[in-house]
Structure 1
Amino acid sequence: MKASIYDVAKRAGLSVVTVSRVLNNESTVREKNRLKVLEVMRELDYHPKAAARSLAKGKTNLIGMMLSTLDDSFFDAVIKEISDRLAAKGYYLTLSVDSDLSPMLFQEDRVDGVILLSPINEIAHMRELDKRKIPYILIDHQHPAPSVSSIVVDNYAGSVMAANHLLALGHKDIAHITGPPLFLSSRERERGFRHAMREAGLAPFAVVPGEFQIASGLEAADRWLAAGRLPTAVFAADDYTAIGVITALQAAGVRVPRDVSVIGFDDQVIASQYRPALTTIRQPAEHIGRQAVDIMLATLQGELPTPAKVELKPELVVRASTAKPRGE
């Protein structure tokens, strides 16, 4: 006997109403409940009639997006642009934070296509989507994918821009705090920084591993303070790390930018609100969102014979956290 929605609700320990909301992709459902329902659906091999009707039509007008975190204002800007542009075209966006159960959200009878936004489990998700024959595109991917449409920001060029800004101010003792090596963006930002320093005939003051977190900046700055030796400038791989550096330095009485200049990457909302306002490399969030929707819709309409490869240029935004070294 086939499982029913009542069986799913009973096994999940939730109400039928909650299960129904999950099936209809309603945003009011708690993520843990959504994942629980999807897990039980898989265990019971449950296929709702509504989904079957969508499949029969061959279209759901839903686009799924998988991302690594919701705690990122840059991602927020990309998602908003994608959601607004999809809505204008009669489509709706459904989100999932990267997890082992995420592919369950993107079955072929639930979404027309998927956008992967800097996913952690990229390879596994690509395999799952290929197996289910669901069209997808990558934004800020971590691995080479020549057969898949992708959008990236030139992180290498952005980090060269950041380093050259500090070099042009007259800095020579420049440190870099990286992002996690898992991310291609982290590796490219470090590569660009090292290239710019070599071109200037200089060795980095230090290259310190980080995690795209405020704590990474706090820890690096605290170590330099404890050692009694500071760089004159720091290029952090993201804005949160940069803010951690500034916070630790200011707590120790070191003035930014008079004593140490600091530059970040991304142009998160907090970058312009922090004091001193943060010099950073801006990623074109709205342009990324527009390109993603255009490519996805062209793919669904069969108007994209070969994968699209888009590389966007970042922009240097000079604010109050960088200046010439003392004495110059």
Structure 2
Amino acid sequence: MKVNIFDVAKKSGMSIVTVSRVLNNAPTVREKNRQKVLDAIKELNYSPNSAARTLVRGKTGVIGLTITALNDTVFDGVVQSVLENLKLNGYVLAISIAHELGNESFDASNFLFHHDRVDGIIVLSTLQEEAYIADLERKKIPFVMIDSHSEHNNVPTINVDNYLGGYEATKHLIALGHKRIAHISGQYAFLSARQRKEGFTDAMIEAGLSPSMIIEGEFGTYCGHSIMQNWIAQGNQIPSAIFAADDMIALGVIRSLMEAGYNVPGDVSVIGYDDQSFANEVHPRLTTIRQPVGQVGEHAVKILMDLIQGKQTKNTKLQLKPELIFRESTAKYKGDIN
């Protein structure tokens, strides 16, 4: 039997009027009562009639999200969190995948960027953010940036503290007794890559160690594999530990080491970043830095809802904390291997 607004009112213990106000994002509802209604909506899996809500609010009932790819489980997790939180607010999600190829220029205007199509936009990790910001501001569409690659004034942004993540990853290796620690970074075009490298550098200097073993790479398995292959082929002393800027790079590093007969973590410890879905399934299970994807999506929706209702300023900036996940690919230093 289809759940209706009366069922939500009964379940929450609130009046029909209060439930209706929550569904229409009215600012007059007490936060405690709003939460009771939202909890009842979630428990009953209630889906408001979007067409009826659009008539009441004079809005589309749709939030747009633009992303460059859906083959990243961290971004997938953010999108899923956004979807779930939008549902609680009675909105549906429309996704645009904008393929960004190298440095080629393209029209940054997105088909979702129109008032008659969406009530707001979530921009997830695009290298074309300057053009997107200009377009959205010109059209006066509320928006939130996730994983921005530059510092922006008066732009609502949600980022994970990548400096802290790089710092904690390196401190973890140092605490295990490693001194010859290398870092393979992502492309410096990404703010996250630059900040993770800065965290690595500061942690090394703080411990009295040299941060000289840094190679700029690219996010991806091929990068980690090829860089590690070259390192081994050159006959140089292999570092006892490697901080890879993402889990894909780490996976490539581990594969190259194992192909050359090295044991991970017996000979070389490897730590990644992101906690992709495969990190707990590969052998050895990957030590990594977990991004709080659920929190990212939740905060993005909250800020955007407030912007749409005129309750939030544009200079909102959130920086969420990552988490070290200690698994099997890192271990105590056992001495130089060559």
Is TM (by shorter chain) over 0.5?
yes
How far has the Cα of 1:104 moved from its partner? 2.2
Matched, 1:253 2:293: no
- What CA deviation, in whole Å up to 9, does each residue of 1:22-60 have, x standing for no partner? xxxxxxxxxxxxxxxxxxxxxxxxxxxxxxxx7997411
Which structure shows the bigger proportion of residues in helix conformation? 1
After the TM superposition, which segments of 4 or more aligned residues of structure 1 sit over 3 Å from their partners? 54-58, 99-102
Percent of residue pairs identical: 47
Q: How does 1:296-307 map to 2 (within 5 A)?
A: 296-305=304-313, 307=315
| Matched letter for residue 77 of structure 1 | G
Length-normalised TM-score, structure 2? 0.78
| Matched letter for residue 98 of structure 2 | D
| Matched letter for residue 206 of structure 1 | M
- What CA deviation, in whole Å up to 9, does each residue of 1:192-245 have, x standing for no partner? 101111111111352111111001100111011101221100000000000000
Matched, 1:285 2:299: no
Q: How does 1:105-116 map to 2 (within 5 A)?
A: 105-116=112-123
5+ residue gaps, structure 2, are 1-53, 100-106
Q: Is the 8 A contact 1:98 1:121 kept in 2?
A: no
Q: Is the 8 A contact 2:108 2:131 kept in 1?
A: no
Q: How does 1:50-61 map to 2 (within 5 A)?
A: 58-61=58-61
Q: Secondary structure at the match of 1:324?
A: coil
Matched, 1:294 2:294: no
Q: Is the 8 A contact 2:244 2:250 kept in 1?
A: yes
Aligned pair in 2 of structure 1 residues 274, 183: CA closer, same or farther (>3 Å)?
Answer: same
Q: How does 1:84-123 map to 2 (within 5 A)?
A: 84-99=84-99, 100=107, 103-123=110-130
Q: Distance in 1 between matches of 2:272 and 2:137?
A: 36
Matched, 1:239 2:242: no
Aligned pair in 2 of structure 1 residues 204, 307: CA closer, same or farther (>3 Å)?
Answer: closer
| Matched letter for residue 222 of structure 2 | A
Q: Secondary structure at the match of 2:270?
A: strand
Length-normalised TM-score, structure 1? 0.81
How far has the Cα of 1:71 moved from its partner? 1.0
5+ residue gaps, structure 1, are 1-53
Aligned residue pair count: 275
Q: CA RMSD in A?
A: 1.7
Out of 143, 158, 182, the position equivalent to 2:150 is 143
Matched, 1:207 2:227: no
Out of 132, 135, 141, the position equivalent to 1:125 is 132
User: Which range moves more in the overlay, 177-186 or 90-99?
Assistant: 90-99
Out of 223, 227, 230, the position equivalent to 1:220 is 227
Q: Secondary structure at the match of 1:152?
A: strand
Counterpart in the other structure of 1:316? 324
How far has the Cα of 1:68 moved from its partner? 2.2
| Matched letter for residue 159 of structure 1 | G
User: Which range moves more in the overlay, 248-257 or 88-97?
Assistant: 88-97
Q: Distance in 1 between matches of 2:93 and 2:267?
A: 46
Aligned pair in 2 of structure 1 residues 55, 132: CA closer, same or farther (>3 Å)?
Answer: farther
Q: Distance in 1 between matches of 2:212 and 2:258?
A: 20
Q: Is the 8 A contact 2:292 2:322 kept in 1?
A: yes
Q: Is the 8 A contact 2:108 2:128 kept in 1?
A: no
Q: Secondary structure at the match of 2:111?
A: helix
- What CA deviation, in whole Å up to 9, does each residue of 1:166-194 have, x standing for no partner? 00101011110001111100000001101
Q: Distance in 2 between matches of 1:186 and 1:318?
A: 21
User: Which range moves more in the overlay, 100-109 or 262-271?
Assistant: 100-109
Aligned pair in 2 of structure 1 residues 101, 204: CA closer, same or farther (>3 Å)?
Answer: closer
Q: Distance in 2 between matches of 1:247 and 1:55?
A: 56
